[in-house]
């Protein structure tokens, strides 16, 4: 556990004034013919870490340049947040906010979790197929080596007439 914000090899001069970690599930709503709504859980989305910080002193632009160079790097790295275990993220967004004073600079940041590098499983437990334009349930069953009756049983709200490009068809 660290007590100061660090990303890759760069340790921030000051901790952010505030930060938040957002974690969401990806849910797909399906409207059934009898107006019931079914919710399919597609698993966790990557965590998003946002915050605001402040730089002060004569070297604040030099420090901001270091942070900016870090943001411009393409690969992910370990993010260390105060009192939390580190995890892999991409440095997604960096902004100067408000009015910068002569010796003060405020900034916002956003990191997005590189979920495949972390131990969390963000994939759906069930396997699914995303419908391509013009496909039918018969074609999908054949492509995925599953009986048509089983496919219909897993997807009761769909028939060949209701399939649209981008729909999710459950295979298990």
Ramachandran sector of residue 8 (left: φ over 0; alpha: ψ -120 to 50; beta: rest): left
Pair 44, 120: CB distance under 8 Å: yes
**What is the model's pLDDT at position 95?**
94
Predicted confidence (pLDDT) per residue in 70-111, tens digit: 999 999 999 988 767 889 999 999 999 976 667 888 999 999
Q: Which residue has the higher pLDDT, 151 or 34?
A: 151
Domains of the chain: residue spans and CATH: 6-117 (2.40.30.200), 128-170 (3.10.350.10)
3-class secondary-structure state, position 109: strand
pLDDT band, very low/low/confident/very high, at 119 (cuts 50, 70, 90): low
CB 121 within 8 A of CB 113: no
For residues 33 and 28, what is the distance between their CA atoms, to the nearest angstrom?
16
Cβ(157)–Cβ(33) under 8 Å? yes
Task: Give 23-75 pLDDT, tens digit per residue.
Answer: 888 888 777 666 677 777 888 889 999 999 888 888 888 999 999 999 999 99
User: Which pLDDT score is estimated for 120?
Assistant: 52
């Amino acid at each position: 556990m660290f007590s100061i914000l660090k990303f890759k090899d760069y340790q921030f001069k000051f901790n952010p004034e505030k930060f938040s970690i957002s974690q969401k599930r990806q849910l797909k709503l399906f409207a059934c013919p009898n107006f019931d709504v079914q919710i399919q859980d597609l698993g966790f989305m990557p965590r998003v870490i946002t915050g605001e910080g402040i730089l002060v002193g004569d070297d604040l632009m030099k420090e901001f340049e270091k942070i900016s160079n870090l943001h411009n790097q393409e690969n992910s790295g370990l993010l260390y947040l105060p009192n939390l275990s580190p995890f892999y993220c991409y440095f997604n967004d960096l902004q100067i906010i408000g009015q910068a004073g002569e010796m003060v600079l405020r900034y916002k940041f956003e990191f997005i979790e590189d979920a495949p590098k972390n131990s969390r499983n963000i994939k759906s437990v069930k396997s699914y197929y995303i419908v391509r334009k013009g496909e039918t349930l018969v074609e999908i069953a054949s492509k995925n080596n599953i009986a048509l009756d089983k496919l219909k049983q897993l997807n009761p709200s769909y028939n060949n007439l209701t399939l649209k490009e981008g729909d999710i068809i459950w295979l298990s």
